[in-house]
Structures are given as C-alpha cells and as structure tokens.
Amino acid sequence: MKKESYLLPLVLIFLWQGLSSLQWIPSYKLSSPVEIVLGLKDLLIIGMPPGNLLHHHVLYSLYRVGLGYGVAAMLAIPLGLLMGWSPRIRKMVNPLIEVIRPIPPLAWIPIAIVWFGIGIKSAAFIIFLGAFFPILLNTIAGVLSINPILVEAARTLHAKEKQIFQKVLFPGSIPSIFVGMRIGIGIGWMTLVAAEFTGVKEGYGVGYMIMTARDIQRPDQILAGMLVIGLIGLLINLGLRTFESRVIRWRG
Amino acid sequence: MKTFPGRNQGEDVHVLDHLQYRIENGKFISIIGPSGCGKTTLLRIIAGLEKASTGKVLLDGHEMVQGSEEVGMIFQEYALFPWRTTLQNIEMGLEIRGVEKEKRRSTAMEYIRSFDLNGFEKRYPRELSGGMKQRVAIARTLIMNPRVVLMDEPFGSLDSQTRNAMQEFLLGVWLKRGDTIIFVTHNVDEAVFLSDEIVILSKRPAKIIQRKEVTLTRPRDRTSEECNKIWREILKLLEEEMKSEGKDDYRRSILQST
C-alpha cells in the first residue's frame, strides 16, 4: 500500500488520542485508542466474561458462519446452475425466491429459535439465509453469461448433460459464483454478529462478548470487539480474493 | 427440409428445401451461397445441434444419432473454453470420452507439436492469436477422429494473410489425414482454393443451384487462370441468384403457414 492510504487514518487516530487525553472526549462514551488497545489485551488475557477468552469467541463465531455459509454454498451453487440452465426450473422456483428473499435474515431469528432452539443451529440457519441468496442469484447470472456456443462445442465433442454441467456450466460461472460468495460471506458475517446480539448465543461468540461488555459498562472492550469484527471481515475478504484470483487466472 | 417458426404466429420461415446430396468419403466439399441462405442451419442439422423439420442425415446408409461420435464441428468464433489451457482444450473430447489422463495428454501433445502450438500448451485462449485459436479448435475436433468434419466459416474472422496461411495449413492436415470435410464459406476464392467440389446454394429456401467439381491439382495457385475461371463462373451464378426476382418462392417461403 502507498503512503497516502496510511496518512489519514494515522492523523485521525492521533487527533482522537489527543482529544481523549485532554478529556475533551469523555472516556465513558468513547474510549481513547490506547484504552481500546488495552481493552483488547484484557479480552485476550482475561476474557469477557472473565475466563471466556477472545480467540474462543472468534472461533465460535467463525464456526457458526462456516457452517451456515458452507451449507448455503453447497445448496445455492447446484440450484443456481440448474436454474440458470433450465428456464422452466427458473420460472418454477423464481416466485418462491422473490417472496423469501426480501425478508431480512434477522427477521427470522424468533422463528429460528422456535424451530432450532438457542444454539448453533439457529445461528447457522440465520447465516445460511443471509448467504444463500447472493450466491444463488450470482450463480444463475453466471450460467446465463456463458456463451451458448460453448455448450454447443461441448455437444459436438459428445458431452452428455452431466458433463455439460461439470465441464462447461460450472467452470464458466465460477467468476460470478465468486462474486456471490464474497457478497454472501460479508452478509453472513454481519448477520452473525447481529444474531449473537439478539439472543442466538450460548456463552461464546464475538457478538455475545460485546453485549456482555456493554452490560458491565466497558466501552473500551465494546470498541475492541468491533475492531476485531472489522478485522476478521477484512481478512476473510482478502483470503477469498486471493483464492479467487488464483482460480480464475484464465480471465486475466 | 427445415422450417423455423416465424415472427408472427402461424408463419414459418422455410429455410432449407429438399436438399438432397451425397458426399463421398474423404472429399473436401465447400458449401457456398448468399448470406442468410441457411448454410449454417444445414451444418447444424448435420452436427445434430438442430433437428430437421423433415428429412434426415444418413451416414453409410444409417440415420445419424444426435451426439454420435461420427461428426465434429469447428465454429467461426473458435468456441474455445476460456478457462482451459491450449492443452486442456485439445484434451476435452478425450476427457469426455473417458480416456485416462496419461493417454489423452500424450495424444494431445502430438497434436500440439504437429499443429505448431509448441510452447503454448499452458496458455489460455485469451493469450492466443486468432490463427492459433483456430488451430487449437481444429486440433480439439480432429483428435476425436470424426468421420465427417464440419467447418462453419472457420476463417471468417481472420485477417487475409492469416486466412491464407490457415487455408494452406488445413489443406496440409487434410492431405495427410484424408478426412471428409464439409466447409461452409461465403468466400469464393477460399472455396476454389480448397475444395474437391463446391456446392452452390440459392437464396432461402436454399436449394442446390449447382455442384461444381474442381479437379485442379494441388497445390493450387490462387491467381492462376484456371482458378480465376472457376471463380468467375461461381461469382456469376451467385450474382444471378441475388438478382433473380424469385418473388413467388420468397413469398411462399415467408408466408407458408402450418
């Protein structure tokens, strides 16, 4: 990264620290950068609530996301390929999707708790809902973007229906599938933390950790938790992008 | 015969009309005709990509089954799989056929060598020139050893120098292998240079106006008097066809209702 990208954040942090040290910013509302770093250290060593360390919270959250997101991708990609391939299936399934899709994933939390109880299943279900639709819609768009002549070329090489899926439709829609996967993981991650705020929790999870910090009036740890959420989101996106650029080298 | 549903209901567009034609094994046949006359449709029917409204395609007296291994097709737009390297594109057919990896790799490498694609086996289509892409496409089809090779204006999007080079390349490959080739083009010069026989089609609905045998020995000289003579004859036929009123035929073709 270039110098320019660091400059503004650094200036703001110094300004923030300065104003906090002069006590122009009240510490019980907004902790100073130094306090946040110390809060982060406490989260790592002591934990919130004490004993539940930060990395446990992170791992639990990631586990929930991984489960919901994995199931979403496993269902959305094949269904998207089918829907992109067959106008009939598309017409059949589309109305259903158009009705369910606008319901925010978080609006499902109460019914998810009724169905699955409080715990990993309902959390994973909420994440599933958040990630499923972007992956599905982008997979469909990916199939539709494939030049039909490639399917014909495969046919003249005597490909059967199954092989057309494996060797033409799937690889051809990968760039678009990746777009969906990146949007999906973003939404999934956001949804998870919100789900952990509102009750889908069981002692661990970054959202739960932040809510506990709020309960005992620790703005430094609330902000440190937010920082952690942002950093993990950033890392996931970076990882996916690296993976993506490797897989679709052919696009140049 | 082939009719397409027309724009208005109950109106069919009649594209091919009672084409009957027999092709000898190992011949290089070109099909030429006014644009939009149905040349491509004819090839697509033979390739099994479309069904004829009536009539059938026979090979050795047997009706051809769609997706049979007997026919290969080469497209003007190359139709290479952009996510596959040169080698992987050439291998595709063998992979579909279920040939094991070692075997198909070594077969594909033979084609890469003899098609002058050395050093490009790991490149993706976007990194290849037009002429190279078409060589990959030809290799991808020929590796399947089809009985009949269909080519739909394969050199139509190449510049004229590359085009000439590709014609000579194709002739070289064909002379060695002796495939049966059906080559659609609208370029008379190309047809004369390449073919054993040229089939001239009429406007829609396409009928055979004439079959012209070209017996000149190869290699042919494009600018020779003999080539020019055939070229002029065919051009004249095509011009007459374009000029001919043929209103009745035409009206019947677009108004024919089901």
| Residue of chain B whose Cα is closest to the Cα of A151 | B79
- For residue A192, pLDDT over 70 is answered with yes
SS3 state at B31 = strand
The per-residue pLDDT for range A212-232, each reduced to its tens digit, is: 998 899 999 999 999 999 999
pLDDT of the residue at B256: 46
| Residue of chain A whose Cα is closest to the Cα of B77 | A149
Q: Which residues pair with B257 in a beta bridge?
A: B11
Asked if the C-beta of B120 comes within 8 angstroms of chain A's C-beta atoms, the answer is no
The per-residue pLDDT for range A122-151, each reduced to its tens digit, is: 889 999 999 999 999 999 999 999 999 999
pLDDT of the residue at B219: 84
Chain centroid, CA A11 distance in Å = 30
CA distance A137 to chain B (A): 22
Per the structure block, which two tokens stand in for B138? 């030809």
Per the structure block, which two tokens stand in for B223? 């600018």
Per-residue CA distances from A67 to A127, A129, A131 (Å): 8, 12, 11
Report which of A116, A109, A131, A133 is spatially closest to residue A65, judged by C-alpha positions: A131
If one compares B202 and A81, the residue with the highest pLDDT of the two is A81
**What's the whole-number average pLDDT of chain B?**
84
Dmax (CA) of chain A: 76
Per-residue CA distances from B136 to A133, A141, A143, B108, B125 (Å): 38, 28, 24, 10, 9
Task: Delimit the domains of chain A by residue range.
Answer: 34-247
The per-residue pLDDT for range B64-122, each reduced to its tens digit, is: 766 667 889 999 999 999 999 999 999 999 999 999 999 999 999 999 999 999 999 99
Report the top-level CATH class of A34-247.
mainly alpha
Q: Which residues pair with B71 in a beta bridge?
A: B148
- Burial of A17 per CB tally in 10 Å (0-12, 13-18, 19+): middle
* DSSP letter for each residue of B182-231: EEE-S-HHHHHHH-SEEEEE-SSSB-EEEEEE--PPSSP-TTSHHHHHHH
Q: In CATH, which superfamily holds the domain spanning B2-70+148-257?
A: P-loop containing nucleotide triphosphate hydrolases (3.40.50.300)
CA distance A188 to chain B (A): 29
- Name the one residue in this structure whose structure tokens are 């269904």: A79
The model's pTM is: 0.82
Chain region(s) in chain B for CATH 3.40.50.300: 2-70+148-257
Per-residue CA distances from B226 to A207, B200, B230 (Å): 85, 19, 7
CA distance B185 to chain A (A): 19
- For residue B10, pLDDT over 50 is answered with no
- For residue B22, pLDDT over 80 is answered with no
Give A1's pLDDT tier (boundaries 50, 70, 90): low
Whether the CB-CB separation of A193 and A64 falls below 8 Å is answered with: no
Q: Which residue in the set B47, B79, B126 is minimally distant from A252, CB to CB? A: B126
- Report CB contact under 8 Å: A156, B73: yes
Report which of B39, B105, B96, B100 is spatially closest to residue B67, judged by C-alpha positions: B96
Whether the CB-CB separation of B39 and B184 falls below 8 Å is answered with: yes
- β B28-32/B197-201 pair status: parallel
CA dihedral A219, A221, A227, A231 (to 10 degrees): -170
Whether the CB-CB separation of B195 and B214 falls below 8 Å is answered with: yes
